[in-house]
């Protein structure tokens, strides 16, 4: 059994044009052609995103997809616990968490994590692993969410450089105690957690940044270029 591993991506991911983070996550499995399950729940199980991910990982992995709006899998645990990597797409964090809990996906994901199946995701798919996050789930404006899965302590903010208000809003919420201290990542950057501790930050783009954000302010983390 491998050590539990989570990769939280600020932006990009499996559907992105850059391939560095995609290859990195697949290689973390230690399997030449890993079994990967894609959870597109946050994006409403959109067919175009599913097709794009299929195209991006073609020849690199054996891909399965767990859809919940039109559910075709009767035994979710059997599917997810047979994977080497579980990848969660972006979209609406709050809706995704509610749907997962209704179908029991949250419980199975915790078991998968404990077994050492690599968990990864972008934006909403990164927010979900933490206790709290910055999200646009509730309308056009950013809002705090304090109802994450809580596999990892603290909060997360994706798109730190990709959306104008993400950085100042998140830093203000942490300073005010609205959100607990946590981590932030630029688009194209991934934070790797081994067990419950941060292990490293990696980037598939030049000058990609990651931060530890405390009430006193942000602290830049070392980032390894892939």
Q: CA of 225: how far to CAs of 57, 121, 192, 209, in Å?
A: 21, 19, 13, 10
Q: Is 123 a catalytic residue?
A: yes
Q: Is 82 a catalytic residue?
A: no
pTM over 0.85: yes
Which one of 29, 123, 134, 203 is the catalytic residue? 123
What is the rounded radius of gyration, in angstroms, for the C-alpha atoms of the chain? 16
149 within 8 A of 97, measured Cβ to Cβ: yes
- What percentage of the chain carries pLDDT values higher than 90? 97
Give 181-208 pLDDT, tens digit per residue: 999 999 999 999 999 999 999 999 999 9
Alpha helices in the chain (DSSP H): 20-28, 47-57, 76-80, 93-103, 105-114, 124-127, 166-176
Q: Sheet holding 182-185: strands in order across? A: 143-145, 130-135, 152-157, 182-185, 210-214, 217-220
Domain count, the chain: 1
| Residue-number span of the structural domain to which 188 is assigned | 5-225
- Residue 93: helix, strand or coil by DSSP? helix
CATH number, position 20: 3.40.50.880
Element (H, E) at 212: strand 210-214
Which one of 134, 137, 155, 159 is the catalytic residue? 159
- Residue 172: helix, strand or coil by DSSP? helix
Give 56-83 pLDDT, tens digit per residue: 999 999 999 999 999 999 999 999 999 9
Mean pLDDT, residues 2-16 taken together: 94
Give 138-161 pLDDT, tens digit per residue: 999 999 999 999 999 999 999 999
């Amino acid at each position: 059994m491998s050590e539990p591993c989570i990769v939280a991506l600020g932006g990009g991911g499996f559907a992105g044009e850059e391939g560095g983070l995609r290859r990195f996550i697949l290689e973390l499995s230690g399997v030449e052609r890993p079994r990967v399950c894609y959870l597109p729940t946050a994006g409403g199980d959109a067919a175009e995103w599913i097709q794009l991910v299929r195209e991006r990982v073609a020849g690199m992995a054996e891909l399965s997809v767990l859809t919940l709006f039109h559910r075709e899998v009767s035994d979710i645990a059997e599917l997810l616990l047979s994977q080497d990597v579980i990848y969660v797409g972006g979209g609406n964090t709050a809706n995704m968490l509610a749907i997962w809990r209704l179908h029991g996906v949250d419980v199975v994901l915790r078991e998968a994590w404990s077994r050492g199946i690599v968990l990864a995701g972008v934006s909403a798919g990164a927010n979900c692993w933490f206790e709290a996050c910055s999200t646009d789930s509730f309308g056009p404006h950013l809002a705090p969410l304090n109802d994450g899965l809580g596999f990892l302590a603290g909060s997360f903010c994706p798109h730190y450089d990709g959306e104008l208000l993400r950085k100042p809003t998140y830093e203000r919420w942490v300073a005010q105690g609205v959100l607990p201290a946590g981590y932030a990542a630029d688009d194209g950057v991934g934070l790797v957690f081994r067990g419950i501790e941060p292990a490293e930050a990696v980037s598939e783009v030049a000058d990609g940044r990651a931060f530890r954000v405390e009430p006193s302010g942000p602290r830049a983390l070392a980032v390894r270029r892939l």
